[in-house]
Structure 1
Amino acid sequence: MSKVLHQFLQDNLNDLKDKGLYNEIDPVEGPNGAMITIGGKELINLSSNNYLGLATNDHLKEVAKKAIDHYGVGAGAVRTINGTLDVHVKLEEKLAEFKGTEAAIAYQSGFNCNMAAISAVMDKNDAILSDELNHASIIDGCRLSKAKIIRVKHSDMDDLRAKAKEATESGLYNKVMVITDGVFSMDGDVAKLPEIVEIAKEFDLITYVDDAHGSGVMGKGKGTVKHFGLEKEVDFQMGTLSKAIGVVGGYVAGTQDLIDLLKVRSRPFLFSTALTPGDTVAITEALQILLDSTELHDKLWENGDYLKAGLKKLGFDIGESETPITPVITGEEKLTQKFSKRLFEEGVYAKSIVFPTVPRGTGRVRNMPTAAHTKEQLDEAVKVYEKVGKELGII
């Protein structure tokens, strides 16, 4: 190995460990459900994005197996050559129905969506108004587009209006986009979409909502845009298929013209092999489950409210979450890491979240209750939190 590289790696790894910012990866031995096994230890799992429990759903496993038997394990090509199978067409039709739009396009991941869609429409002659707490994939997608990135204070509508006015009246840009998460994954708060759409109309902004943590969760499962009744007002509805939907991939939903352009301009669509047949069929069936019933959605919210109430009663700082996402904010990074480790030792898996995922000094243990958790599991988790919280002086 290069001496320069070796020194660089050692210096950076040691620095991260000294500051409590080094992330240990814990391989899960078996399914990622309400309970998981790590290192032979069974734990209550509060760190999964599997909001509705669909990742381990028996029916979805069966339809995926049948699809593999018929189509094979891979699509065999990129979508634009001969990797578009009939099941991909059916999936995109179902996505459009689910999101209330004319059309939709599926990608291999949610991260890919933001890399693909933003850069396909925006370029160096444009500007993007981006919430300062937007997900890393939004930030990277904006950078890839080479558009001017204008940071907007988090959910600050006065700041958004002022910067929208300045950008549109400057004469410097051909197009201006406003982009936001629908649900902010670290705090669980919801974007002020009605106000954002109002400002967008005033200044003719393109609107883009990343609903990775809203699809399946908000709007009776249809997402944050549906929650506010804005399906006809938001230009880009983006989301993942790996969180509440339970499988893998991502999508963008919008007008037929938008989707037609993305199919010929978005590079991850053009240059990556298509979603596997088994995943594609499982996703389509998961969407149908959500279209047919709100049972899983309702159970998720019931469990989320129950856990929140238990942690808040104990005196933990759970922020201002408006969704089942429940952060327990501790602040200092090393304390956050120690807190997570002690929870693990007591039987609860709640991963520490520190800089750069969240700003310095705002470390937290993030809890993700799901529809699959029982009240007994949540009660046990709260008991562990009480024990460890008092032990470490957090409460």
Structure 2
Amino acid sequence: MRPDEIESALQGLADEHRLRRRPLLSGPQEPRVKIDGRDYLAFASNDYLGLANHPAIRQAMQQAIDEWGVGGGASALVAGHFDIQQQAEAALAEFVGCEAALLFGAGYAANLGVITSLVGRGDAVFADRLNHASLNDGCLLSRATFKRFRHNDLEHLEQLLRDTPARSRLIAVDAVYSMDGDEAPLRELLQLAERYDAWLYLDDAHGFGLLGEGRGALVEYALHHPRVVYMATLGKAAGVAGAFVAGSRQLIAWLVNTARTLIFTTAHPPAQAAAVLQALQLMEQEKWRRELVKRHISLLREGLRATSFALCSSRSPIQPIIIGGNKETLQLAAALRERGIWVPAIRPPTVPAGSARLRVSLSAGHTHDDVAELLAVLLMLIC
């Protein structure tokens, strides 16, 4: 795009009700927030367990800053790998039942780094059509043959695996899909990976902390296998930031030597690792958080079951309400904001055209009354 085209392109986005801006948040991420100077009851954050502002995690990070400082200084391969980060990696590996784990600065960086490390020219990568953008970008940057299969369509995937010649293959999926809240058929996908000699790469950004008693999809579905590469983010249910990849010791050693998004970036702050260690303790000890989220999900779904709202099939805290048109979705989100409730309107290209939606995210930080208030306002708006 030329510099003189940007203004008209922005206007085009506005005309299609797709122009975005960043809402200004004042204060910590909690169910009750101040956005653009106004107080809201918010259902927008992926802080599923309500840990993002937990006092124990704040304290752990503050104490770690006193001991470890703030910055990483350089790549861990150049300036050194903090032993507090090594402790966090060991704890994460044990938590999900793997031999080893590796911290990344973000899930996006992990997806790009892992996929481009495992496949390249002459190889093939197969991705679900509803995968997160970071998975798709990793597939594109790998320079492998890139095939996309219809959402959760195992027959279509098998056809592509059978018909695509390649030296190495990798199947990439979200364990829980971020905009629909449904899940991938992971056991069946592993069977296909075994049959066609492929890696199975799982992005469990929205399952970690919830599935498998909090230990994620790997534990929920007993998927520990040499072909499985597991990634989960730490900025959602864990309430912190960053991501980790888990698998065999050989796999992690390979990534340390080949993952460009790890090698060519400054290590993330060491205090972040201390926060992760504290978050893991809370996830293990405070099981009531997951149970509370389940009750919130049931309350919302039961309350909307007899309405005209279209709900996706989701047992996760992600409860999308499909509206369809961009303009109508924005209008409904605005009507909720007028009544003090913040729910994001999700539009293309994040979701397919014609499937714009309100993406309701539930959290253990919400109370029963919070969810009941959202439900009451939604019911009032459609009467």
User: TM-score scaled to structure 2, two decimals?
Assistant: 0.97
Contact 2:99 2:248 (C-alpha < 8 Å) held by counterparts: yes
CA distance in 1, matches of 2:353, 2:177: 17
Q: Which residue of 2 aligns with 1:324?
A: 317
SS at match of 2:182: coil
CA distance in 1, matches of 2:272, 2:142: 29
SS at match of 1:342: helix
CA distance in 2, matches of 1:309, 1:233: 41
Q: Which residue of 1 aligns with 2:16?
A: 19
Q: Which residue of 2 aligns with 1:393?
A: none
Question: Does 2:125 correspond to 1:131?
Answer: no
Corresponding letter in the other structure for 1:46: F
Q: Which residue of 2 aligns with 1:333?
A: 326
1:184-220 Cα deviation digits (max 9, x unpaired):
0100000000111111111111111000111012111
Q: 276, 280, 289: which is aligned to 1:287?
A: 280
CA distance in 2, matches of 1:10, 1:389: 37
Contact 2:182 2:312 (C-alpha < 8 Å) held by counterparts: no
SS at match of 1:230: coil
1:279-335 Cα deviation digits (max 9, x unpaired):
110011111222334222222222222222223243321122231210010000111
Question: Does 2:264 correspond to 1:264?
Answer: no
Q: Which residue of 2 aligns with 1:241?
A: 234
CA distance in 2, matches of 1:14, 1:94: 49
Distance apart, 1:134 and its partner CA: 0.5
Q: How does 1:56-75 map to 2 (within 5 A)?
A: 56-75=53-72
Corresponding letter in the other structure for 1:374: T
Corresponding letter in the other structure for 1:138: L
CA distance in 1, matches of 2:146, 2:255: 21
Assess, with a 3 A threshold, how the Cα gap between structure 1 residues 366 and 84 changes in structure 2: closer, same or farther: same
Q: Which residue of 2 aligns with 1:38?
A: 35
Contact 1:235 1:255 (C-alpha < 8 Å) held by counterparts: no
Q: 359, 378, 382: which is aligned to 2:371?
A: 378
Contact 2:226 2:247 (C-alpha < 8 Å) held by counterparts: no
Q: Which residue of 2 aligns with 1:85?
A: 82
Corresponding letter in the other structure for 2:103: A
1:257-300 Cα deviation digits (max 9, x unpaired):
00000001101111111121221100111112223342222222
Q: Which residue of 1 aligns with 2:203?
A: 210
CA distance in 1, matches of 2:124, 2:94: 31
Q: 337, 346, 349: which is aligned to 1:353?
A: 346
CA distance in 2, matches of 1:70, 1:313: 55
SS at match of 2:60: helix
Question: Does 2:168 correspond to 1:175?
Answer: yes
Assess, with a 3 A threshold, how the Cα gap between structure 1 residues 233 and 375 changes in structure 2: closer, same or farther: farther
CA distance in 2, matches of 1:50, 1:259: 28
1:164-187 Cα deviation digits (max 9, x unpaired):
1122xx3xx110111100000100
Corresponding letter in the other structure for 1:67: A
CA distance in 2, matches of 1:319, 1:303: 16
Contact 2:193 2:227 (C-alpha < 8 Å) held by counterparts: no
Question: Does 2:305 correspond to 1:312?
Answer: yes
User: TM-score scaled to structure 1, two decimals?
Assistant: 0.94
Range 291-300 or range 339-348, more displaced = 291-300
Distance apart, 1:234 and its partner CA: 5.0
Counting matched residue pairs gives: 383
Q: How does 1:137-152 map to 2 (within 5 A)?
A: 137-152=134-149
CA distance in 1, matches of 2:109, 2:371: 34
Q: 359, 362, 384: which is aligned to 2:355?
A: 362
CA distance in 2, matches of 1:227, 1:104: 18
Q: Which residue of 1 aligns with 2:187?
A: 194
Q: Which residue of 2 aligns with 1:162?
A: 159
CA distance in 1, matches of 2:313, 2:350: 18
Contact 1:239 1:251 (C-alpha < 8 Å) held by counterparts: yes
SS at match of 2:41: strand
Q: 115, 118, 140: which is aligned to 1:118?
A: 115
- Structure 1 stretches of 4+ with a deviation exceeding 3 A read none
Corresponding letter in the other structure for 2:140: R
SS at match of 2:202: strand
**What RMSD in Å do the two structures reach over aligned CA positions?**
1.4
CA distance in 2, matches of 1:334, 1:317: 17
Contact 2:198 2:227 (C-alpha < 8 Å) held by counterparts: no
SS at match of 1:144: helix
Distance apart, 1:387 and its partner CA: 2.2
SS at match of 1:239: strand
Distance apart, 1:39 and its partner CA: 2.5
Contact 2:124 2:147 (C-alpha < 8 Å) held by counterparts: yes
